[in-house]
């Protein structure tokens, strides 16, 4: 038996884990690492199942090639040749705009995903770049970009010091937090109340997070922007503001909020006017307060406006960039991704629907249009890295059909699943325990400054390829260098660029130094490790990879400190309270004031033992409470005369679903978790617990106008009774 330590790579909480392995390298147990200064021994059921997930016999260990409907195992050489040829054929015949790429959620956790995403995208030379960002947090980044100039500047609630936390549309007790890395979120919420603080949750469901709160308020899905405007209106009307950062646009904001008095807001959002007024007064009166909001408000029709208003409230109440409010993490690795240039939105638009680009990407909601619509620039080949859009993107079944028509598709993924089953070639990365780990991105949103590096626990098997090598080779292939080009060559190019750039930046620790010497001084067993070492050395704490190796439980780098001044990069040099695109989008809200709300709307639901679509093949994580059911208020069951299951229809499609009546959901709202729909899967456990694809119902034709983000919450639906029988799904 031996003990090993590493960061859990599954969700955003970055928990430290302590694993016990037997002589054969099998995981005997996984516990929380009590010596991790940030997670202090916390672990959730997914982390505890990391060994089972990692050892899943259905994971692919060798590349797969499909001919017609037949899959066969292939050597890496064969697979790389097939990918090179397949992509080359499409580029030669249709040009580079016929290429598309989709980066899924785990790309934002792996070191290889961080290092090669940009080079791969640049080498593709296509505008058809898609990622999970536009089915997730891009509204937050667009709002931040417009207000602060920097779309990567994401303020996190200062959880451990705040006196008052208002959570809208997030359920961190089950999701473990998002854009706010805070291991043991439940413990931190308990501590908040323990020190006399107050927690208020606004959600159409009385969630497990709401159970930790002093108060829970039901809100009509998709209407948080009204609630927040009602709060802004009150803060301004009652002169409760305490702005302590330099702002522009206060008068314009006042004008915009004018007609959203609490009475008007209440009619749309369903939160009583007196409660809206009280929330505003409490936020203003608390010694410190933070408003925190996630998926429930991002993946909604007014996503960007809602994200903007969240930070407007934080600013108006004097809680922006100050302890106990919302703050910016100072991460250990240099923030290469910050351009220092003011953000501009919608620099180009998608070919078919004219949807705006955001951060170099187009909305996933229009991927099917780009594949299906003939003409110059039609997508003919797709690369996916760590994504399962057939289950995770709006109107997944349409993508399922569209993928069949591609000329070529290659997936970097450990599973043969709903998406990768359309590939011509699947390139499987190694197991998690065979990869080094450092959360480049999640460590930029931790609620304390913290760093932790985990070396691989198990070596690669002979002939296995690292995810770094796979992505480097793909990059070299799409840039026309062939299947045999040396991946080390790409690593050296990337490192050279980083180091050379640093020698030219005034005040950089590498300023004026010799690039060759700097390169020789870097430490690391792979491209991504060398990259990490360079970024740590260039970072604000002057750490190195050796320092992190010497501290296998992680390093606490202290409480968050104000740093808005160094991040702010608007043209005006001030925080923009009413940037024009956002101010204009308030017009859409105004129009809606007169429209009666839909009678029944669908929202999502995350379950503690799921993680989007890919953890359903592990026995300990499925079954029991983790089932794909439609939660519905008992009053709606009676009103609609429903039995144990029902047919649910939207503009996009229909499903037959088992009902779970519960008074934890508000009347007029139903909730279905996403990531299910594994009928016929070759993943044996997942197929037995198939569930249905919630994204059969989500409508790709409706997006948040400013960011192009998908709308998963507030989807109008109807329900009708159905006889017991097969669960099924069908397009509209």
Ligand X SMILES: Nc1nc2c(c(=O)[nH]1)N[C@H]1C(S)=C(S)[C@@H](COP(=O)(O)OP(=O)(O)OC[C@H]3O[C@@H](n4cnc5c(=O)[nH]c(N)nc54)[C@H](O)[C@@H]3O)O[C@H]1N2
Q: Which is nearer to ligand SF4, 40 or 513 (CB)?
A: 40
Q: Which is nearer to ligand SF4, 109 or 220 (CB)?
A: 109
Binding track over 172-211 against ligand SF4, x by CB under 6 A: ----x------x----------------------------
Q: Which is nearer to ligand SF4, 11 or 411 (CB)?
A: 11
**How far is it, in rounded angstroms, from Cα 466 to Cα 113?**
12
Q: Report what 47 binds from ligand X, ligand SF4, Mo ion, none; CB cut-off 5-8 Å by kind.
A: ligand SF4
Q: Which two tokens stand for residue 556?
A: 């606490």
Strands (DSSP E) contained in 22-69 are 27-32, 64-67
Sequence-ordered alpha helix ranges (H) in 241-294? 250-257, 262-269, 273-285
174: contact with Mo ion by CB under 5 A: no
**How far is it, in rounded angstroms, from Cα 138 to Cα 710?**
10
**How far is it, in rounded angstroms, from Cα 632 to Cα 211?**
19
Query: Binding residue for ligand SF4 (CB under 6 A) from 4, 11, 390, 603?
Result: 11
44: contact with ligand SF4 by CB under 6 A: yes
Which residues have CB under 8 Å from 477's CB, separation 6+?
80, 83, 84, 87, 483, 485
43: contact with ligand SF4 by CB under 6 A: yes
User: Least distance from C-beta 396 to Mo ion, angstroms?
Assistant: 15
Read out DSSP for 125-175? T-S-EEEGGGGTTHHHHHHHHHHHS-TT---EE-TTT-SEEEEES--HHHH
CA angle, 513 then 517 then 519, to 5°: 105
**How far is it, in rounded angstroms, from Cα 536 to Cα 441?**
13
Nearest to 428 by CA among 79, 85, 109, 684: 79
276 DSSP 8-state letter: H
Query: Binding residue for ligand SF4 (CB under 6 A) from 4, 5, 6, 10?
Result: 10
Applying CB under 6 A, the residues found at the interface with ligand X are 11-12, 104-106, 110, 132, 135-136, 168-172, 174-176, 178, 202-205, 207, 219, 221-222, 224, 294-297, 299-300, 385-389, 391-392, 412-415, 417, 429, 467, 603-604, 606-608, 610-614, 674-675, 694-695, 698, 712-714
Coil, helix or strand at residue 371: helix
Q: Which is nearer to ligand SF4, 175 or 656 (CB)?
A: 175
Q: Which is nearer to ligand SF4, 320 or 438 (CB)?
A: 438
Judged by CB under 6 A, which stretch of 13-21, 76-84, 94-102, 561-569 contacts ligand SF4? 13-21
> What distances in angstroms separate CA 248 from CA 391, 579, 580, one per listed residue?
42, 9, 12
Q: Which of residues 112-141 bind Mo ion (CB under 5 A)?
A: 136
User: Least distance from C-beta 86 to ligand SF4, angstroms?
Assistant: 35
Q: Report what 351 binds from Mo ion, ligand X, ligand SF4, none; CB cut-off 5-8 Å by kind.
A: none
Q: Which is nearer to ligand SF4, 31 or 278 (CB)?
A: 31
Judged by CB under 6 A, which stretch of 4-12, 95-103, 256-264, 658-666 contacts ligand SF4? 4-12
Is residue 585 within 8 Å of residue 304, measured between CB atoms?
A: yes
Q: Which two tokens stand for residue 348?
A: 């180009």
Read out DSSP for 630-688? EEE-HHHHHHHT--SEEEEE-SSEEEEEEEEE-TTB-TTEEE--SS---TT-SSHHHHH
Q: Which is nearer to Mo ion, 133 or 466 (CB)?
A: 133
Nearest to 332 by CA among 554, 82, 13: 554
Coil, helix or strand at residue 32: strand
**Which residue sits closest to ligand SF4, CB atoms considered?**
47
Q: Report what 10 binds from Mo ion, ligand X, ligand SF4, none; CB cut-off 5-8 Å by kind.
A: ligand SF4
User: Least distance from C-beta 540 to ligand X, angstroms?
Assistant: 27
Judged by CB under 6 A, which stretch of 6-14, 64-72, 312-320, 710-718 contacts ligand SF4? 6-14
Q: Which is nearer to Mo ion, 136 or 150 (CB)?
A: 136
**How far is it, in rounded angstroms, from Cα 347 to Cα 344?**
7
The binding site for Mo ion (CB under 5 A) comprises 136
- Interface contacts to ligand SF4, rule CB under 6 A: 8, 10-11, 13-15, 43-44, 46-47, 176, 183
């Amino acid at each position: 038996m031996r003990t090993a330590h590493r960061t859990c790579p599954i969700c955003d909480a970055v928990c430290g884990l302590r694993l016990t392995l037997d002589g054969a390298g099998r995981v005997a147990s996984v516990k929380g690492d009590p010596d991790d200064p940030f997670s202090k021994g916390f672990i959730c059921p997914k982390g505890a199942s990391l060994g089972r997930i990692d050892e899943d016999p259905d994971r692919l260990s060798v590349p797969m090639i499909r001919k017609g409907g037949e899959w066969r195992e292939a050597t890496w050489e064969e697979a790389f040749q097939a990918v090179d040829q397949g992509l080359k054929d499409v580029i030669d015949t249709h040009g580079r705009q016929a290429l598309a790429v989709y980066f899924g959620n785990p790309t934002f956790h792996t070191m290889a995903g961080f290092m090669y995403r940009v080079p791969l995208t640049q080498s593709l030379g296509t505008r058809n770049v898609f990622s999970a960002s536009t089915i997730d947090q891009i509204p937050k980044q667009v709002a931040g970009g417009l207000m602060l100039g920097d779309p990567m500047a994401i303020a996190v609630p200062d959880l451990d010091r705040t006196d008052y936390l208002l959570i809208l549309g997030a359920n961190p007790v089950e999701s473990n937090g998002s854009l706010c890395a805070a291991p043991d979120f439940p413990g931190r919420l308990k501590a908040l109340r323990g020190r006399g603080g107050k927690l208020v949750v606004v959600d159409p469901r009385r969630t497990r997070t709401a159970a930790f709160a002093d108060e829970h308020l039901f809100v009509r899905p998709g209407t948080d922007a009204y609630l927040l405007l009602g709060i802004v209106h009150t803060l301004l009307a009652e002169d409760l503001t305490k702005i302590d950062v330099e702002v522009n646009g206060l008068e314009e904001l006042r004008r915009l909020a004018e007609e959203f008095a609490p009475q008007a807001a209440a009619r749309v959002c369903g939160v009583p006017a007196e409660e809206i007024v009280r929330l505003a007064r409490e936020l203003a009166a608390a010694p410190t307060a933070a408003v925190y909001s996630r998926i429930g408000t991002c993946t909604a029709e007014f996503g960007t406006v809602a994200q903007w208003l969240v930070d407007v409230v934080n600013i108006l109440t004097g809680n922006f960039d100050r302890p106990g409010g919302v703050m910016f993490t100072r991460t250990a690795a240099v923030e290469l991704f910050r351009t220092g240039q003011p953000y501009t939105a919608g620099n180009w638009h998608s070919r078919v629907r004219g949807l705006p680009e955001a951060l170099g990407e187009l909305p996933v909601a229009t991927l099917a249009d780009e594949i299906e619509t003939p003409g110059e620039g039609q997508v003919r080949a797709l690369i996916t890295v760590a994504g399962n859009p057939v289950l995770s993107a709006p109107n997944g079944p349409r993508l399922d059909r569209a993928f069949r028509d591609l000329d070529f598709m290659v997936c970097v993924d450990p599973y043969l699943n709903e998406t990768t089953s359309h590939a011509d070639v699947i390139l499987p990365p190694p197991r998690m325990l065979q990869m080094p780990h450092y959360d480049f991105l999640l460590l930029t949103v931790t609620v304390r400054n913290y760093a932790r590096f985990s070396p691989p626990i198990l070596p690669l098997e002979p002939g296995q390829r690292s995810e770094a090598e796979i992505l480097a080779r793909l990059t070299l292939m799409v840039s026309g260098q062939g299947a045999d080009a040396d991946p080390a060559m790409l690593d050296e190019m990337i490192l050279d660029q980083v180091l050379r750039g640093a020698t030219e930046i005034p005040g950089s620790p590498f300023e004026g130094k010799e690039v060759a010497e700097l390169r020789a001084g870097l430490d690391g067993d792979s491209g991504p490790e060398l990259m990490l070492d360079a970024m740590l050395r260039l970072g604000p704490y002057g750490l190195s990879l050796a320092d992190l190796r010497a501290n296998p439980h992680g390093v606490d780098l202290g409480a968050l400190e104000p740093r808005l001044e160094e991040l702010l990069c608007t043209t005006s040099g001030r925080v923009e309270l009413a940037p024009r695109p956002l101010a204009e989008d308030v017009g859409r809200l105004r129009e809606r004031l007169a429209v009666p709300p839909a009678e029944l709307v669908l929202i999502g639901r995350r379950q503690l033992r799921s993680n989007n679509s890919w953890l359903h093949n592990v026995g300990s994580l499925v079954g029991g409470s983790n089932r794909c059911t439609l939660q519905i208020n008992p009053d709606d069951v009676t009103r609609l005369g429903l039995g144990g299951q029902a047919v649910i229809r939207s503009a996009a499609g229909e499903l037959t679903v088992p009902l779970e009546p519960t008074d934890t959901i508000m009347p007029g709202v139903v909730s279905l978790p996403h990531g299910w729909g594994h009928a016929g899967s070759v993943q044996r456990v997942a197929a037995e617990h198939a569930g249905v694809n919630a994204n059969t119902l989500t409508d790709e034709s409706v997006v948040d106008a400013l960011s192009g983000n998908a709308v998963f919450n507030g989807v109008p639906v109807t329900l009708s009774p159905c006889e017991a029988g097969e669960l099924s799904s069908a397009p509209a």
